[in-house]
Amino acid sequence: MNIFRLLGDLSHLAAIIILLLKIWKSRSCAGISGKSQILFAIVFTTRYLDLLSSFISLYNTSMKVIYIGCAYATVYLIYMKFRATYDGNHDSFRVEFLVVPVGGLAVLINHDFSFLEILWTFSIYLESVAILPQLFMISKTGEAETITTHYLFCLGLYRALYLFNWIWRYYFEGFFDMIAIVAGVVQTVLYCDFFYLYVTKGGFTLKCVMASRK
**214 belongs to a structural domain:** no
How many CB atoms lie under 10 A from the CB of residue 193? 14
Q: Is residue 34 part of a domain?
A: yes
Q: Is residue 207 assigned to a domain?
A: no
Q: What is the mean pLDDT of residues 8-20?
A: 95
What pLDDT, on a 0 to 100 scale, did the predictor assign at position 135? 87
Q: Domain for residue 210, yes or no? A: no
Task: Give the Cα separation of 57 and 103 in Å (integer).
Answer: 29
Q: In Å, how far are 13, 38, 128 from 70, measured between CA atoms?
A: 9, 11, 19
In a domain, 48, yes or no: yes
Domain extent for 197 = 3-201
- Please state, as a whole number, how many other Cβ atoms lie within 10 Å of the Cβ of residue 185: 15
Q: Do 22 and 52 touch, CB atoms closer than 8 A?
A: no
Residue 170 lies in a domain: yes
Instruction: Name the strand (E) or helix (H) holding 11.
Output: helix 3-26
Query: What angle do the packed helices 3-26 and 58-76 form, to 10 degrees?
Result: 30
CA distance 85 to 66: 25
From residue 113, give the alpha-carbon distance in Å to each of 97, 100, 106, 107, 180.
24, 18, 9, 8, 16
Q: How many domains in the chain?
A: 1
| CA angle 48–101–76, rounded 5-degree value | 45
Q: What is the DSSP letter of 206?
A: E
Task: Specify the pLDDT at position 52.
Answer: 83
Please give the pLDDT value at position 9: 95
Residue 40 domain flag: yes
Phi, psi of 130 (to 5 degrees): -65, -25
Q: How confident is the model over 103-135, as pLDDT tens digits? A: 999 999 999 999 999 999 999 999 999 999 998
Quick one: pLDDT band at residue 142, thresholds 50, 70, 90? low
Biggest CA–CA distance in the chain, Å, is 51
pLDDT of residue 211 exceeding 70: no
Residue 213 banded pLDDT, cuts 50, 70, 90: very low
The answer to whether residue 91 is domain-embedded is: yes
pLDDT of residue 209: 46
Contact at 8 Å (CB) between 136 and 189? no
Nearest alpha carbon to residue 137 among 93, 94, 95, 96 = 93
Comparing 70-79, 128-137, 145-154, 160-169, the range with the smallest average pLDDT is 145-154
